[in-house]
Structure 1
Amino acid sequence: MSATAPAILYRQHLDVLEQRATAALERGGFDHLVVPSGTLHYQAFDDRDYPYAVNPHFKAWAPLTRNPGSWLVFTPGRRPTLVYLQPFDYWHVVPEAPGGYWVEHFDVRIIRTAEEALQHLPQPVARCAIVGEPQSALGDYVPDNPAAVVDYLHYHRAFKTPYEVAMMREATLRGVRGHHAAERAFRAGASEFGIHLAYCQAARQDANELPYGNIVALNEHGAVLHYTELGRLPPQDSRSFLIDAGASHGGYACDITRTHAADTAGEFQAMIEAVDAAQLKMCDQVRAGTDYKRIHLDAHLALAGILREFGVLRMSPEAALETGVSSAFFPHGIGHGIGLQVHDVAGFAASDGGGTIDKPAGHPYLRLTRVLEPGMVVTIEPGIYFIDMLLDEVRKNGHGDAVDWNRVETFRPYGGIRIEDDVVCTGDAPENLTREGFAAAA
């Protein structure tokens, strides 16, 4: 991006947000959209707060992620108002006055206590659609998240503006730096915890700034889909390494997974390369008019084909999908929407008026069932895992003969493989933010 691009892209982004908010308010019969940034939540029987997470509806308007107690107000036909909490506080660092390319588009009201926001919020309250967490209530301004408004906003949030894609591209560059550092640490013999620290250092974000907890898994731990234990000592023999880790920029996330083998000439490395090649073909399916459910089912066929090629499965890919055997090796969905949240909202939305699109029978963990359209950004993350409890179910269900268990034992010490990219659906060929990020860092 050039130095002037963010300001231009943001202005266009704000125009889209205002159009969407105006339509959503009309749907719900309201005059004002009121969005709290969120508040600090405190632990039970303690004075320590949980890590603060900003309301995604708030950071959609302003790239502010560390400002609890602030509010956003939009009334159609008027400049949006930012009620910005800048407290008197000698215990913590006080947020600086808002600045940057986006501020000129807001009527900014600085407040010193959270309660002062009340004098800047529109009345009557009954004419306000208040979108946020219940804990963000202030006086009579209690988030009620009216369905007509939220359904509309969530549905259209799937379509990213060029500004949002630019923010995700910047997040990706941070994530790529972290992934390169993590691989170096793995090959140097570091522990999971040490790899995690190397990642955070390179991405220049700590655990609370990352969009989700890093999954850093050595050897068999790669078979745990959300392995976040971060062992403090390295294993005696580091055979494989799976890392699922992202980064944030301007309130937007990237989500990247890579798998590495210690022996770059061995059979597990060959399987990684086969999954990577199949994953690239799946990424190419991210095109306008493609049913995302179809990509998921095609992924099962492709991964079952790889398992058959490596001697793990004795049945055809079609039979593996039909019998559910493929789900024992690939038990999660092919991906999800991504943007302001890692698992972005409205993945099942039938329309901006509500309703849902069902998941395929037998595939309960798919997080997106919509037909792809230009502007959508999705992840594509196929995986092959050797998970004991799921493989036991294959035996119990009478399909044990379809598996070569000796081959399973060969790959079991490596845990699993997952490759994940963030991909933009366009009017033409898809744009792979992740591969572009790795290429730029090469």
Structure 2
Amino acid sequence: MSANLASLYADHLDTLKRRADEALQRGGFDALVVPSGRLHYQVFDDRDYPYAVNPQFKAWVPLVKLPDSWLVYVPGQRPKVIYLQPFDYWHVVPSAPSGDWVQHMDVVVIRTPEEALQHLPKDPARCAILGEAQSTVGAFAPNNPPAVVAYLEYHRAFKTPYEVEMMRAASRIGVRAHRAAERAFRAGASEFGIHLAYCQAAQQDAIDLPYNNIVALNEHGAVLHYTDRDRLPPKPVRSFLIDAGAGHVGYACDITRTYSHDTGDEFQALIDAMDVAQLRMCDQVRNGFDYRQLHLDAHLSIARILKDFGLITVTPEVAVETGVSSAFFPHGIGHGIGLQVHDVAGFAESDRGGTLPKPEGHPYLRLTRTLAPGMAVTIEPGLYFIDMLLEQLKDRGLGPSVDWGRVDAFRPFGGIRIEDDVVCTDAAPLNLTREAFAA
């Protein structure tokens, strides 16, 4: 860790301590106790599911593969990490604690999960214990007190400078892998082959990525969460949509790009129009701007593109009012991002709880808060040719609003989605994705 990054991490910890102090006071607790998580095993089997670290744990320390360990924080004291390093010749054992984080923590190495009880606070009832029920050891069972969780999750939306640097590093990895995926697509690889090229370039296995890669050729681009990955490429190959991320010490990037096989065809022109509109949307990530309005503005922008390309016969305004635009753009404009791809508290009214509603008629929006400096969000407009949604327009009597001949011409290409990770600042937005592509 560089001197500058070490300083940012120290400041990050100070921020976490202040947040924890307030959260514990609100909940009436003396200590914050966070298990790192435990392996899940498949029913009637001895195979475990891929381990996923508790986000509340990795917020404090850059450790993502350390099951059955604990973070303990008591206001006014140094945080403690109870670090499981078992005697085990069947599996790779975590290496000895190392890195700049160690100097900020009291670190205790244990050899069995049960040994943690010797180092946890004396009274579990006075602890806010954040985690899964299966992380229980002895009397220390996660209680996830709402007042504590609400406060910590609400403020997790505001990234510290250290966290922005971690997301920037994740973005660089993701962009490197996206470039490899495009090369594989241009070389004629299958969806599965493109996925493997992506993982190789990211140097992350599928289970290490922050979410399941969406690698879609042709019509598969119209399936929003397509993850089947055919082993043979279609004939002919027309288009490629990839929604894939990468991780760095527990922080995620989330990037989507769409390509036409023929860079001079009309589908590429449609992609280019979406790209211009998406950049304008990214520029709306400003202090004080309601993210719900950004979503509604995106519908109007996409409706204008639909009109420009002759896909609809009504005005953009009418397309939005009648729900025609939603048939082409059925998901939300984006979500929070950070320690989790779909970061928490997207609907939180305040750090005491409450819910901010979604705009009427837009059930899939994942973030309804007003933007403020430090908030990191994705901006991912889409334009798809989804048969079932288009047929519903006919059922609602809105068939004349669409030029079906034009739609038929684009159906074989599936759809378009373009996604960047953007940080709100006091001034212009910081687009981590475009920054990484420009490097």
Q: Which range, TM-score by smaller chain?
A: over 0.9
Match of 1:96 in 2: 95
Q: Is the 8 A contact 1:6 1:101 kept in 2?
A: no
What's the TM-score once normalised by structure 1's chain length?
0.99
Across the aligned residues of Structure 1 and Structure 2, the Cα RMSD in angstroms comes to 0.6
Kindly state the Cα deviation for residue 235 of structure 1 after the two structures are TM-superposed: 1.0
Aligned partner of 2:412 in structure 1 is: 413
Give me the whole-angstrom Cα distance separating, in 2, the residues matched to 1:372 and 1:93.
43
Describe the superposition over 1:98-150 as per-residue Cα deviations: whole angstroms up to 9, x where unpaired. 11111110000000000000111102111000000111111111101000000
Question: What's the counterpart of residue 70 of structure 2?
Answer: 71
Whole-Å Cα distance in 1 between the matches of residues 4 and 392 of structure 2? 54
SS of residue paired to 1:39: coil
What is the 5 A alignment of 1:329-348?
Answer: 329-348=328-347
SS at match of 2:208: coil
Residue 207 (structure 1) aligns with: 206
The alignment of Structure 1 onto Structure 2 pairs a total of residues equal to 439
1:312 to partner: Cα distance? 0.3
> How far is the alpha carbon of 1:5 from its aligned partner?
1.8
1:313 and 2:318 matched: no
Alpha-carbon offset, residue 393 of structure 1: 0.5
The amino acid across from 1:247 in the alignment is A
3-state SS of paired residue (1:49): coil
- Report the CA distance between 1:315 and its aligned residue: 1.0
Quote the Cα distance in structure 2 between the aligned partners of 1:98 and 1:242: 41
Shift of 1:352: 0.2
Aligned partners of 1:240 and 1:414 also within 8 Å: yes
Counterpart in the other structure of 2:239:
240
Structure 1 segments, 4+ long, off by >6 Å, are: none
Give the equivalent residue in structure 1 for 2:227.
228
Deviation at 1:3, TM superposition (A): 2.5
Does residue 24 of structure 1 match 2:16? no
Counterpart in the other structure of 2:106: 107
1:376 is displaced (CA, Å) by: 0.2
Aligned letter for 2:344? Answer: V
Query: Which residue of 2 is the match for residue 15 of structure 1?
Result: 14
Residues in 2 aligned to 1:101 and 1:107: alpha-carbon distance in whole angstroms = 13
Q: Secondary structure at the match of 1:201?
A: helix
AA matched with 1:185 = A
The runs of 5 or more residues in structure 2 that have no matched partner are none
Distance 2:422 2:201 in 1: 23
Paired amino acid for 1:387 = I
Shift of 1:259: 0.1
Letter in structure 2 aligned against 1:9: L
Equivalent position SS for 1:11: helix
Q: Which residue in 2 is equivalent to 1:131?
A: 130
User: 1:182·1:198 contact (CA, 8 Å) conserved in 2?
Assistant: yes
Give the C-alpha shift of residue 6 in structure 1: 1.6
Which residue in 2 is equivalent to 1:189? 188
Q: What is the CA distance between 1:236 and its match in structure 2?
A: 1.6
Displacement of 1:318 after TM fit?
A: 1.3
**Structure-2 separation of matches of 1:238 and 1:136:** 48
Runs of 5+ in structure 1 lacking a partner? none
Q: Residues of 1 paired with 2:229 and 2:209: CA distance?
A: 16
Q: 1 CA distance for matches of 2:225 and 2:385?
A: 14
Equivalent residue runs for 1:384-399 within 5 Å = 384-399=383-398
Tell me what 2:248 maps to. Answer: 249
Report if aligned partners of 1:255, 1:421 keep a CA contact under 8 Å in 2. yes
Partner of 1:268: 267
- State the alpha-carbon separation in 1 of the partners of residues 81 and 418 from structure 2: 40
Q: Which residue of 1 aligns with 2:153?
A: 154
Aligned residue for 1:259? 258
- For 1:347-398, what per-residue CA distance to the aligned partner results, in whole angstroms no more than 9, with x for missing partners? 0000000000000000000000000000000000000000000001100011
- Supply the distance in 2 between the matched residues of 1:386 and 1:235 (Cα, whole angstroms): 18
